Amino acid sequence: MAQGSELWPGFRTLENVQEILERNKLLISEINLNHELRTPESLLRNVILIRELNGNMATVVEAYRHIAGQLDLPGAGGA
């Protein structure tokens, strides 16, 4: 049976997005915990974690743009 990436090249991009989103879930959990602790160290750590989260989200948006570009075929009912 063919692997997803053999069927459609964008499949690997979706796998990468899923990995990033799973990482973001962990980041958000740690951010929430640090916020509850309210120590200077935990709040400083949140600055780093939020920057990583922001960068990850930018990567996800770019990946979805890339996938959308692959799906935007001429004559497929698009603009």
The pTM of the full predicted model, rounded to 2 decimals, is 0.80
| pLDDT value, residue 76 | 55
Provide the 10 A C-beta neighbour count for residue 30: 14
Please indicate, yes or no, if residue 6 is contained in any of the structural domains.
no
Split into its structural domains, the chain has a count of 1
Position 58 confidence tier, pLDDT thresholds 50, 70, 90: very high
Using alpha carbons only, give the angle 56, 61, 67 rounded to the nearest 5 degrees.
125
Residue 79 above 60 pLDDT? Answer: no
Please indicate, yes or no, if residue 48 is contained in any of the structural domains.
yes
Residue 68 above 80 pLDDT? Answer: yes
Domain that holds residue 35: 23-71
Please indicate, yes or no, if residue 15 is contained in any of the structural domains.
no
What Cα–Cα distance (Å) separates residue 21 from each residue in 6, 55, 72, 76?
A: 23, 12, 24, 30
